Amino acid sequence: MAKLKTKFNCTECGYDSPKWYGKCPGCQAWNSMVEETDSVIKTQGMNSSLFQSKEKPLSIINIESSKEGRVLTGIGELNRVLGGGIVPGSLILVGGDPGIGKSTLLLQASHSLSISGLRVLYISGEESVQQTKLRADRLGALSPELYVLCETNMESIEEAIESVKPDFLVIDSIQTVYLPEVTSAPGSVAQVRECTARFMRVSKGQGIATVLVGHVTKEGAIAGPRMLEHMVDCVLYFEGERHHTYRLLRAVKNRFGSTNEIGIFEMGESGLNEVENPSELFLSERPLGVAGSSVVASMEGTRPVLVELQALITTTNFPAPRRMCTGIDHHRMNLIIAVLEKRMGLSLQNQDAYLNVAGGVKLDEPAVDLAIAVSIASSLRDLSTKPFDVFFGEVGLTGEVRGVSRAEQRVKEAEKLGFKRVILPEKSLKGWRHPKGIELIGVTTVAQALKAALD
């Protein structure tokens, strides 16, 4: 017999409580507690062998390592973010805003895998098979090994998996799938948690690489309990503005690779196209000879990327000046401003400061500090930097410029794009062969960097 139990779950973090709260005690979110009814099965008198595992503990030295390699998806940028391809039996969660291109990317990846000889099952809970076929016609994703199903019942999905026996499975989306024995509505915390646990058992037990598409909240986080991200092997976020053509694919969790890599795509009429040289993309609309603009050589995982930093310094009309930035940590910007005021004598206490990373990229490494300082000083003095200069280096609180890693790759990327000078930490000049086609200027303080860039 099943006993009905009523409780309240938080839609943001999964916190459950026997009574309702206006503010979740777990994540402090307001109005996120929803009532749900779960059926609790009494196990007394039942065969306990149903709940026993047949696995026995093994010594780690006696466990054979898996020899099965990764499977390439046919999309280079997706392979880069995943760490070199899809691991068989892995469970991947993909999140992003509505209309950003999640279904398009996965349908293209499904087509590439199917034409390579793998059997793919694409299950859509939001679109009919006719609507999926229309998208496939537009993308040219037509293959006899690509199977499409419109279903939301978990039991029917498991029957389809058993019938098709796919190598790659896509669930679009996890919020539409439901278990009949769980009495709450599809998309609720209980349904998402239980269905994801079922897919995890199917993925690990049968060695099927599974991709779950997840909805996101208005804050940009994947909807559902927080434990959803802990259950899966890889969490990918598809970022970008719906009204712009460029998209960024970023990994925030990856058990089989790095989380520092990004994939860059351009949305076209025939689907998503890979952007193989992102530096040219981010610098394509850069104005020359404008105060406040500088180019920084940043590392995104193993890939050097040249990005334009823009700063605007204006006299404030308020008692406290405004500090706003996009793509840069707000606290890092305040730190650089404090160093420029104290060590360089720049008067910024009565100036509003606005900083922007062109192209919508988020830069979070310390190597962008020097470019931030140069951009702010350039806008304040109304002096433009030289159009073919590149900057990178970490700035300390005493005004020194510290060395950063992978200077050689950054300089080679700048040389490849036609830049003439690189202003970098003097310590980063040691230990590698300098190219002859570009001038390298080593600096030890911010004062030296500003003199070289603006004088």
pLDDT at 17 exceeding the cut of 90 = no
Using a 10 angstrom Cβ sphere, with 0-12 exposed, 13-18 middle and 19 or more buried, the burial of residue 283 is middle
Rg for the chain, CA atoms, rounded: 26
Compute the average pLDDT of residues 392-418.
94
Q: What is the pLDDT of residue 302?
A: 82
Binding residues for ATP: 96-103
φ, ψ dihedrals at 7, nearest 5°? -150, 175
pLDDT digits (tens, 9 = 90+) for 124-151: 999 999 999 999 999 999 999 999 999 9
Q: In the CATH hierarchy, which top-level class contains the domain 281-454?
A: alpha beta
Determine the residue type at 201. R
Q: How confident is the model at residue 219 (pLDDT cuts 50, 70, 90)?
A: low
| Confidence at residue 133, expressed as pLDDT on a 0 to 100 scale | 94
Residues annotated in the binding site, as ranges?
96-103
User: pLDDT tens digits, residue range 426-455?
Assistant: 999 998 999 988 999 999 999 999 999 998
Note the pTM of the prediction, 2 decimals: 0.77
In the structure encoding, which two tokens stand for residue 237, read together? 């976020």
Res 51: pLDDT: 43
- Give me the pLDDT at residue 43, please: 38
Q: With residue 95 as reference, give the H or E element that holds it.
A: strand 91-96
Identify the weakest region by mean pLDDT among 3-12, 178-187, 244-253, 266-275. Answer: 3-12
Q: Round to the nearest angstrom and report the end-to-end CA distance of the chain.
A: 83
Tell me which of 46 and 38 has the higher pLDDT: 38
Sorting pLDDT into bands at 50, 70 and 90, what band is 209? Answer: very high
For range 380-389, the mean pLDDT:
93
Secondary structure letter of residue 435 according to DSSP:
P
Classify the C-alpha dihedral 395-400-401-403 as positive or negative. negative
Cα 228 from Cα 189, distance rounded (Å): 10
User: C-alpha 43: how far from its chain's center?
Assistant: 42
pLDDT in tens, 139-193: 999 999 999 999 999 999 999 999 999 999 999 989 899 999 887 788 878 888 8
Q: For position 230, what pLDDT does the model report? A: 85
Residue whose structure tokens are 């070199």 = 84
Given a cut of 50, whether residue 49 has pLDDT beyond it is no
CA distance 368 to 299: 10
Burial of 6 (0-12, 13-18, 19+ CB in 10 A): exposed
Closest Cα partner for 114 from 172, 189, 164, 160? 164
Question: Which tokens in the block code for residue 219?
Answer: 């804050």
Residue 48 pLDDT > 60: no
Residue with the bigger pLDDT between 16 and 383: it is 383
In sequence order, the 6+-apart residues with CB closer than 8 A to the CB of 65 are none
Q: What is the mean pLDDT of the chain?
A: 88
Helices 154-164 & 189-206, crossing angle to 10 degrees?
A: 20
Check whether 270 has a pLDDT greater than 90.
no
Q: Among 26-30, 34-38, 102-106, name the one with the lowest average pLDDT.
A: 34-38
Q: CATH assignment of 72-276?
A: 3.40.50.300
Dihedral of CA atoms 122, 125, 129, 132 in degrees, nearest 10, equals: -70
Beta bridge partners of 121: 147, 169
Residues whose CB falls within 8 Å of the CB of residue 117, separated by 6 or more in sequence, listed in order: 145
With cut-offs at 50, 70 and 90, classify the pLDDT of residue 218. low
Of the two residues 138 and 29, the one the predictor is more confident about is: 138
Q: Which residue has the tokens 């962008």?
A: 368
Tokens of 370: 């020097």
pLDDT of residue 220: 62
Q: Can you list the positions of beta strands (E) in 83-134? A: 91-96, 120-124
* pLDDT for res 47: 46
- Please report which helix (H) or strand (E) contains residue 131, including its range: helix 129-139
CA quadruple 144, 150, 152, 155: dihedral positive or negative?
negative
**In terms of Cα–Cα distance, which of 146, 189, 133 is closest to 16?**
189
Q: Is the pLDDT of residue 14 over 80?
A: no
Residue 186: what pLDDT?
A: 85
CA distances from 55 to 64, 353, 354, 412 (A): 15, 61, 59, 52
Please choose, from the candidates 417, 404, 398, 410, the residue with its C-alpha nearest in 3D space to the C-alpha of residue 440: 410
Q: How is residue 225 written in tokens?
A: 């309990």
Q: How confident is the model at residue 69 (pLDDT cuts 50, 70, 90)?
A: confident
Residue 111 three-state SS: helix
- Bridging pattern class, strands 351-357 and 303-315: antiparallel
Supply the pLDDT for residue 317. 87
